[in-house]
A and B are shown apart, each in its own frame.
Chain A
Amino acid sequence: MVEKVISMKRTILTVDDSATVRQMVAYALKSAGYDVVEAKNGEDALGRLPSPLSLVITDLNMPVMNGIGLIKALRAHPDARYVPIVVLTTESEAAKKQEARAAGATAWIVKPFRPEQLTAVVQKVLG
């Protein structure tokens, strides 16, 4: 059973060019009690930054601005510099992980995810 986090509403920005994945991420996180803002690529995400922002979950391969570009932009953004960033991607190569880590990512999840797996990572990252 998915544990519900209801102590306080936290807002998570999920970025993916796949509407299905965004929908599933929102499904998992909303079921666990989080507020979710969706964006379809890195550029879209930068235009929709919620305030306060608790966490960003981003894909890597996206048009317009990919995940690595978004991570770098967020790390340079005054309102998102210290916000944890979880990469949620189909990629699993160590080299790719290293690239994301160097850009400032906090954690890495390979698709497909199960809702309880995603919420466990989110809870751990949010402390």
Chain B
Amino acid sequence: MPVRTESRWRWLRPRAASDGGGAFGAGETFSEIRRELTQAMASTEEGFLEAGGRLLDLRKAIDGAADGADSLAGLLSEGAGSLSALDQALLEAAGVSAYDEISRLVGDLHGRAHAIHGAIQNIEPIVRTFAVLAVMTRVESARFGGGSAAFAGLADSVRELSGQIAASAGASGASAKALLDSAAHLARRFKRLAAQREQSLGPLSRATGGQVRRRSAEQARVSEASDRIAARFRDISASAGDIVAAMQGHDIVRQQIEHVLEVLEGATAAGTTQLEAAQLDHSRVTFERSVTEIRAGLEKIETEAGQVAEESDRLFNERQEGPDAGPSQLESGLETVAAILGEHAAADRELAQVAQGLLNRLSGISGAVASVQSIGIEMRRNALNAAVQVAQLGSQGQALETIAAAIQALAHDVEQLSAKLDSESAGASQALSDLVDRAGEQSARSEERFERLRDGARRAAGVRRSAESVHGETKAAIAAIRADLRETIEAFGTHQACLAAIRRAGDVLRTAAAGDTNAGRDAWEAARSLYTMRSERLVHKAMAERESGVAVEAAPDGDNVEFF
């Protein structure tokens, strides 16, 4: 026959009274055990809930930190592309191949301007000789009276034409002098620019290029490290799953205690007090393990978050302390290279403009040269005509013949000089045209590189600022996570009272077990039906086997997860 609750708890009181103290001391009853256990579980649930709420916030913060590290990795990886373009622009800026051709053209122009100037200067003595020959022609022609008209005409023609040559050569001489001066000025200026390129732009571009490559390598390293940090954050976040599992220990223990109380309260389980005590011991161990696991999980997260924070900091500090890797050094280097390129672009543009002006001036010289050439031809024709007439005079015209031959020879010299001038002018014109083109192209290239470098410097600075900002935010997030965790770990301490209550209840039951003389097979079987959790059944089986000395068959168990 089942024993009623009243009679079951009757023996508990005297036994507890004889102990003379404690929470379940004299006069205390089952209802007091139940009240204390229920209160203990209720009060600890508040602590669990608070820790659970913080765990949710922490998980979000850790995921946010992982996203931050991911975004930093992406930002730096993207920045690597800009740095590669910068490196290319700097390599091009350091190169001088385009200026070699301009230098050659400037040298060629200078040489040709010199030749033109020289050739024009050579016309002057010819013109003076023509004047003398014109006078001699007039003197000689006077000896032939009325037949001298043709020779007088030759003298006039020589004087007039040589005057025209003198006028053309005089104008061209001034232009040629100006051309020569300008070409010399261009050559000097270009030499100065070339020296500047060679001495400052080249080395600076190469040095800055080195910094860009170092920055790029550093960013790649930090990007990879940020990927690793993001992965570690995600691992930390996933490890919160252990805490989630441990958190449920509270519910499991609560139900175990409820089962024990239910058995104690029931009218069918007298004689199993040792079992109830063992079940409570098991609950206490389960609860303690849950609490330990939760604290350990939180501490692990706190430690790992600290390690990640240190790693992240070390990465950034290494980057900032590295040689020639300071952000301002690289960015100011880029700014300086860009500024020099900007100056060169302006100089190249001016060079193109000057060359265009010289080209216009040269076309004036070319016109004069063509005019001198045609005058020379006309003069030679006149001299030839005079020579034919002198031949009709026979020996009397010997002097005039000599003069006409001299005029022809000089006219031939004029033609040759003008042909040389024509050739040099054409060459100078070509050199100037090429110079206009090359200088224009170079100016456009310099401007384009200038823009690329400016843009690259801005991007590099932007990436650095963003990276520092993201790093700062992540660092602050980690610090907040750690502070939260420390607070949570500290606050998570309400379990001691609960453990003490469970232990006290177990002790009371063990003390009472000596008086629990109603043990029987039916009582153990009835208790078994109330202990439905796997761990409870294992405790029941072990205790039942100890009690009876024979093996007890446990109820069949299923998988932890099952689909119906």
Contact = CB atoms under 8 A, between A and B. Distances in A.
A121 B563 CA distance: 9
Given A1-B238, A115-B244, A107 B532 contact: no
Of the candidates A24, A27, A124, the one having the most CB atoms from chain B within 10 angstroms of its own CB is A24
A116 B246 CA distance: 14
A19 interface: yes
B246 A112 contact: yes
Nearest to A106: B564
Interface stretch (A5-13, A44-52, A74-82, A93-101): A93-101
Contacts of B532: 91-93, 96
Contact of A24 (B45, B248, B533): B248
B58 to A, nearest CB: 11
Interface string A22-61: 0110011001000000000000000000000000000001
Contacts of A2: 238, 241
A90 B245 contact: no
A20 B45 CA distance: 7
15 contacts: A20-B45, A20-B48, A20-B248, A21-B248, A27-B59, A93-B555, A97-B562, A105-B564, A107-B562, A107-B564, A108-B561, A114-B244, A115-B244, A116-B241, A125-B563
Interface string B521-564: 00000000000111001000000000000000001111011111
The 5 A-B residue pairs with the shortest CB-CB distance in the complex, in nearest-first order: A112-B248, A18-B251, A112-B245, A110-B560, A94-B556
A107 B559 CA distance: 11
Nearest to B66: A1
B238 A18 contact: no
B293 to A, nearest CB: 10
Interface string B32-55: 000000000000010011001101
A20 B245 CA distance: 11
Nearest to A18: B251
Contact of A1 (B237, B247, B560): B237
A1 B251 contact: no
Contact of B241 (A111, A114, A125): A114
Nearest to A110: B560
B249 interface: yes
Interface in B308-345: none
A109 interface: yes
A62 B232 CA distance: 39
Contacts of B242: 114
Contacts of B250: 18, 20
Given A95-B555, A106-B564, A121-B561, A90 B56 contact: no
A114 B245 contact: yes
Interface string B222-254: 000000000000100110111011111111101
Contact of B561 (A28, A90, A109): A109
B52 A97 contact: no
Interface of A: 1-2, 16, 18-21, 23-24, 27-28, 31, 61, 90-97, 100-101, 105-117, 121, 124-125
B255 interface: yes
A20 B52 contact: yes
Interface size class of B (residues with CB under 8 A): 35 or more
A110 B255 contact: no
Nearest to B240: A115
A57 B246 CA distance: 19
Contact of B52 (A16, A23, A109, A113): A23
B556 A23 contact: no
A27 B55 contact: yes
Given A1-B237, A113-B245, A92 B560 contact: yes
Given A1-B237, A93-B557, A111 B534 contact: no
A113 B560 CA distance: 9
A105 B561 CA distance: 13
Contacts of B251: 16, 18, 20-21, 90, 111
Contacts of B49: 19-20, 23
B337 to A, nearest CB: 45
Contacts of B246: 112
Contacts of A114: 241-242, 244-245
B52 A1 contact: no
A111 B248 contact: yes
A108 B45 CA distance: 25
A107 B56 CA distance: 26
B98 to A, nearest CB: 54
A101 B564 contact: yes
A91 B258 CA distance: 13
A24 B557 contact: no
Given A1-B238, A92-B534, A92-B557, A111 B252 contact: yes
A101 B558 CA distance: 13
Contact of A115 (B48, B241, B533): B241
A92 B537 CA distance: 10
Interface in B480-524: none
A90 to B, nearest CB: 5
B48 to A, nearest CB: 5
A113 B255 CA distance: 16
Query: Which residue, of B238, B241, B563, has the highest number of chain A Cβ atoms within 10 A?
Result: B241
A107 B558 CA distance: 12
Contacts of B534: 92, 110
B564 A31 contact: no
B444 to A, nearest CB: 50
Contact of B249 (A23, A94, A112): A112
A46 B557 CA distance: 30
Contacts of A115: 240-241, 244
Contacts of B555: 93-95
B244 A24 contact: yes
Interface in B361-411: none
